[in-house]
Structure 1
Amino acid sequence: MNLVSIRVITDDVTRLVEFYERATGVRASRPTEDFAELRTASGTLAIGSTRTVPLFAPGSAAPADNRSVIIEFLVDDVDSVHRQLTGFVADFVKEPTTMPWGNRALLVRDPDGNLVNFFTPVTPEAIEKFAAYAR
């Protein structure tokens, strides 16, 4: 089994796409106005409009209502991502910090309030752990 994607439901696909494109440097594909995908080597972040929810199960998902999931991106330089988002992101939850497990991490909220963690392994152990994901 492989995790292929995570889908975020939103009332404003364009707003979220703009945030994630800026934050990741990955260009989204937009097959329709109600759906976008940001594809990386290890998985896809899908962004769907609330208008797509009834296609799956009416009432099963609500936008801007998450308080339990953190979307995480391995990046080459977390401090660079922080500089890139300064003035664009309204909610820096935690400025770049080196965590006890060896990652330098930046925690923000996307425009819908979802937590997003950008991290760069900095200790030898963390670098080794994520070596398979290196670009």
Structure 2
Amino acid sequence: MKLGEVGFLTNDVVRLAAFYKFLLEIENGSDDSVHQTIIAEETMLTIYNDGSSKNNQNQNICIAFTVDDVDKEYERLLKKGVKIIDKPATRPWGAKNMSFSDPDGNTVYLRSFSENVKEG
């Protein structure tokens, strides 16, 4: 079985999609205000408004992306004014992680692995 899609429900599709297009450095060619799909490699990130009101207090979900260089991404996010939760730090298991909030308050993790540490 493969994970087919990760979806974010939001009140502001354009704003949240723009953030993830910036983060993933991907352009999907859409400015739709109801539904946008952003494809990165084999996984789809879908951002949509299902018509219900969201409270943007998303405390039970997070999303993590593996990147080549967490420090480089940290600097890029700082320049964009992104709200950083935890600065890059090497964890006891060897991965280097950082976390931040997306515009709706979802927690996003970026992580990188040294050649000595395998992902997973």
Which TM-score band (shorter chain)? 0.7 to 0.9
Aligned length in residues: 120
Measured in 1, the distance between the counterparts of 2:29 and 2:3 equals: 19
Q: Deviations 1:45-96 (Å, cap 9, x if unpaired)?
A: 1100242x5xxxxx8xx35131011111111111111111113234200011
Q: Deviations 1:22-65 (Å, cap 9, x if unpaired)?
A: 112122353843111121124111100242x5xxxxx8xx3513
For structure 1, list consecutive stretches of 5 or more residues without a partner in the other structure: 54-58, 131-135
> Of the candidates 102, 113, 121, which is equivalent to residue 105 of structure 2?
113
- The structure that is helix-richer by fraction is 1
Measured in 2, the distance between the counterparts of 1:37 and 1:6 equals: 10
1:103 maps to amino acid:
A
Measured in 1, the distance between the counterparts of 2:46 and 2:82 equals: 22
For structure 2, list consecutive stretches of 5 or more residues without a partner in the other structure: none
Percent identity (aligned)? 26
Decide which moves more: 64-73 or 104-113: 64-73
Q: Which residue of structure 1 aligns with residue 21 of structure 2?
A: 21
Using structure 2 for the length normalisation, give the TM-score.
Answer: 0.86
Q: Which residue of structure 2 aligns with residue 124 of structure 1?
A: 116
> Of the candidates 67, 78, 88, which is equivalent to residue 59 of structure 2?
67
